[in-house]
Amino acid sequence: MSNIKQFSTERKLTQQIEDAFNMYCRSTYAERFTLRNGDTVQFIVSRMTREQVEEAWNDFVREMRQLMPVG
């Protein structure tokens, strides 16, 4: 089980949020390493450490907060 899957299971994320977070990680790493979306990116993301997953989650939530309307 990848650290992202384990993290998502522990946090009881819905499948939709897990998928969005996974895609966020893939696009972030693709941009960081100038890679295209594909097996290489998927491999890199699957090898993320727990610390990298936690950091990516915090970045993901921070960016989502900026996009959400203030209610």
In the structure, what pLDDT confidence band is assigned to residue 18 with cuts at 50, 70 and 90? very high
Q: What is the pLDDT of residue 36?
A: 63
The Cα–Cα gap between 39 and 17 comes to 22
> Does a structural domain hold residue 9?
yes
Structural domain that includes position 11? 3-64
> Does a structural domain hold residue 52?
yes
Question: How many structural domains is the chain composed of?
Answer: 1
In the structure, what pLDDT confidence band is assigned to residue 3 with cuts at 50, 70 and 90? very high
- The pTM for the full model equals 0.74
Q: What is the pLDDT of residue 42?
A: 80
> Does a structural domain hold residue 50?
yes
The Cα–Cα gap between 24 and 22 comes to 5
> Does a structural domain hold residue 71?
no
Scan for tokens 């097996």, then name that residue.
Answer: 39
